[in-house]
């Protein structure tokens, strides 16, 4: 059966991809054929009279491996590793206040078959905690806010759940950055709360429908629903898609989008992770200021809204977490959560201690041990 065009298949490829060649950041995509050579089947020797250089170019052009490598190389030039190009990535942050925005699934935690098991490591939690000591830090997730908080378990962060439709700032006593806004209230924002009853209704309907499809799981993220099909046989993917679409025909005020092996349903309102990023910057008192440098790290299509906002602002950087070339508005890339942790640790390590944020950031860029 043909795969649904909208379904990402990164993970399926991961299982068979060959290791990246030395010096390459990404595993070749598509993976090279690994069929063993059989000399007996070689055609009769052909004498190629073309000039060596032309012949070599011809060989390169006809080689899938070379073509894939070339594609990766081109992509990496446009989206360099935020680790390898750390100094360049943070060069524009000199003298500015960094604000960190972190997606959760696939960014701080590995993508796993059971979405309820997507726990983050203690090492990652410690890295996020230390980053938040130096920079205002927000988790921006498609998950419900309560659910993502239960995974991260850090009181000192901002949490934007349900793709940013449900935002909560840190408790006052643990919010050292809140003074930037000069306000007393804890940040709290809920977009589309009038949709809660209909979301609940669709959740019940879809849960009943998906009982017939082995491996399908409907997750209620309060302001949005996620239909996970990571554990569904590929032959059943279309059935998942069709069932979801048939239910949504009755709810024109809801929108369907694709994530990584998940269909996501949310209110048709102009609110996304990009809007959440703008809202949080404003809440922190940084709206319209040129001395702010937001860094957004995410792996999903829904994170593209935030990457685009940063592009539009002409400030900060978006970092896409991916092992494969993808169309993205992000400027830089990291391969996986392990590299995200390394990046966070690097930011903390070079920041040092003792000075104010701006002075430290200047030191960070000047004295970065790269």
Q: Which residues bind Mg ion (CB under 5 A)?
A: 103, 105-106, 299-300
Whole-number minimum distance, CB 85 to Mg ion, in Å?
22
Whole-number minimum distance, CB 324 to Mg ion, in Å?
15
Question: Cα-Cα-Cα-Cα dihedral of 357, 352, 151, 266, to 10°?
Answer: 40
- Grouping H, G, I as helix, E, B as strand and the rest as coil, residue 342 is helix
Whole-number minimum distance, CB 107 to Mg ion, in Å?
5
Whole-number minimum distance, CB 11 to Mg ion, in Å?
13
Based on CB atoms, which residue is closest to Mg ion, 223 or 251?
223
- Name the pairing type of β-strands 137-140 and 188-190: unpaired
Q: Which of 327, 263, 334 is nearest to 297 (CA)?
A: 334
Strand order in the sheet with 217-220: 217-220, 225-228, 262-267, 254-259
Based on CB atoms, which residue is closest to Mg ion, 11 or 211?
11
Tally of CB atoms within 10 A around 234: 14
Based on CB atoms, which residue is closest to Mg ion, 69 or 304?
304
Which alpha helices (DSSP H) does 249-367 contain, by range?
273-283, 304-313, 337-351, 357-367
Based on CB atoms, which residue is closest to Mg ion, 106 or 192?
106
Based on CB atoms, which residue is closest to Mg ion, 241 or 303?
303
Q: Please state, in angstroms and rounded to a whole number, the distance separating the CA atoms of residues 342 and 200.
A: 39
Q: Please state, in angstroms and rounded to a whole number, the distance separating the CA atoms of residues 305 and 165.
A: 14
Whole-number minimum distance, CB 242 to Mg ion, in Å?
25
Q: Please state, in angstroms and rounded to a whole number, the distance separating the CA atoms of residues 126 and 284.
A: 23
Backbone angles phi, psi at 66, to 5 degrees: -65, -40
For 128, 171, 176, 254, 256, the CA distances from 351, given in Å and listed in that order, are 14, 25, 17, 44, 42
Based on CB atoms, which residue is closest to Mg ion, 299 or 339?
299
Based on CB atoms, which residue is closest to Mg ion, 300 or 304?
300
Whole-number minimum distance, CB 355 to Mg ion, in Å?
34
Whole-number minimum distance, CB 255 to Mg ion, in Å?
18
Based on CB atoms, which residue is closest to Mg ion, 69 or 264?
264
Whole-number minimum distance, CB 77 to Mg ion, in Å?
25
Cis peptide before 30 (omega within 30 of 0): yes
- Grouping H, G, I as helix, E, B as strand and the rest as coil, residue 276 is helix
């Amino acid at each position: 059966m043909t795969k649904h065009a909208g379904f990402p298949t990164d993970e399926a490829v991961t299982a068979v991809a060959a290791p990246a060649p030395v010096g390459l950041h990404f595993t070749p995509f598509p993976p090279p054929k690994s069929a063993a050579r059989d000399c007996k089947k070689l055609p009769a020797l052909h004498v190629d009279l073309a000039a060596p250089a032309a012949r070599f170019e011809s060989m390169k052009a006809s080689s899938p491996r070379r073509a894939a490598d070339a594609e990766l190389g081109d992509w990496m030039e446009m989206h360099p590793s935020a680790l390898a190009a750390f100094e360049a990535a943070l060069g524009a942050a000199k003298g500015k206040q960094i604000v960190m925005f972190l997606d959760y699934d696939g960014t701080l935690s590995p993508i796993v078959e059971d979405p309820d098991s997507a726990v983050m490591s203690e090492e990652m939690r410690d890295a996020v905690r230390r980053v938040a000591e130096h920079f205002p830090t927000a988790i921006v997730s498609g998950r419900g806010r309560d659910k993502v908080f239960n995974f991260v378990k850090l009181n000192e962060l901002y949490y934007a759940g349900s793709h940013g439709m449900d935002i909560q700032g840190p408790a006052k006593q643990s919010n050292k950055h809140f003074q930037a806004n000069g306000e007393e209230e804890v940040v709290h924002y809920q977009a589309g709360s009038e949709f809660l009853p209909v979301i609940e209704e669709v959740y019940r309907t879809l849960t009943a429908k998906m009982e017939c499809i082995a491996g399908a799981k409907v997750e209620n993220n309060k302001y949005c629903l996620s239909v996970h099909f990571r554990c569904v046989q590929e032959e059943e993917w279309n059935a998942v898609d069709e069932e979801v679409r048939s239910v949504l025909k009755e709810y024109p005020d809801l929108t369907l989008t694709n994530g990584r092996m998940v269909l996501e349903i949310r209110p048709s309102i102009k609110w996304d992770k990009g809007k959440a990023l703008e809202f949080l910057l404003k809440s922190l008192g940084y709206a319209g200021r040129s001395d702010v440098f937001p860094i957004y790290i995410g792996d999903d299509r829904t994170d593209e809204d935030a990457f685009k906002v940063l592009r539009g602002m002409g400030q900060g950087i978006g970092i896409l977490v991916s092992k494969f070339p993808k169309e993205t508005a992000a400027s830089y890339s990291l391969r996986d959560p392990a590299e995200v942790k390394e990046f966070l640790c690097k930011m903390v390590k070079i920041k040092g201690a003792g000075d104010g944020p701006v002075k430290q950031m200047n030191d960070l860029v000047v004295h970065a041990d790269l």
